[in-house]
Amino acid sequence: MKFVKELAERYPVLAGCTEAIEEAIVAITNMHLFGNKLLIAGNGGSAADASHISGELLKGFLLKRPYEEQQPPFNRMQQGVAAIPLNSLDALLTAYGNDVDGEYSYAQLVGALGREGDVFLGLSTSGNAKNVYWAAKAAKELGLVTIGMTGAGGGKLAEICDLCIKVPETETFKIQELHLPVYHAICAQVEANLFEE
């Protein structure tokens, strides 16, 4: 996987994460090939990362991904990988937080949107964000592949997820600084797997 190899060369500190990163790439690639989707959740900076990941997958990232059909509107469109940042559904999140319990708002969305064969990606620098944990728990019960992205400790998220990418930092901002090149490598490799000729 060329983008994972390049990642490890550019960021030697991430060399110990490459196996989990490659497993995540395989899971997301297969998810797309079987017509399924990616659900992504995080808080604060990790919510921004969830939106960033979605943006790289929903349209061309390093490749143009043209449709075979070249009549409008397809001649101005790019093929996408279905990726939903759950934090973008703010009306539901605020309503559920107000009416029921914000700790379970992401779990509610996973229950409503998730189907067996989908992938859930939870980002939490500590690995202990309660709303991300409960979403992962719901995803696992519903038959989704569950991936965590955390700091070195992994927290509760690492215990429940099928695989966890634990970057070797413990301070929030340093963890987030390493999450970005990791998910860029994932998005680039998934795109290459699916759309490179």
Q: Give the chain's largest Cα–Cα span.
A: 51
Torsion angle (degrees, nearest 10) of CA 186, 163, 125, 84: 60
Q: What is the 3-state secondary structure (H, E, C) of 58-77?
A: HCCCCCCCECCCCCCCHHHC
- Residue-level pLDDT at 29: 98
Task: Give me the CATH code for the 2-195 domain, please.
Answer: 3.40.50.10490
Q: What is the DSSP letter of 118?
A: -
- Residue-level pLDDT at 141: 97
Q: How far apart are CA 85 and CA 67, in angstroms?
A: 24
Q: How far apart are CA 106 and CA 133, in angstroms?
A: 9
Closest-CA residue to 37 (of 189, 127, 145) = 145
What are the residue ranges spanned by the domains of the chain?
2-195
- What pTM did the predictor assign? 0.97
From first to last of its 197 residues, the chain has per-residue pLDDT tens of: 999 999 999 999 999 999 999 999 999 999 999 999 999 999 999 999 999 999 999 999 999 999 999 999 999 999 999 999 999 999 999 999 999 999 999 999 999 999 999 999 999 999 999 999 999 999 999 999 999 999 999 999 999 999 999 999 999 999 999 999 999 999 999 999 999 98
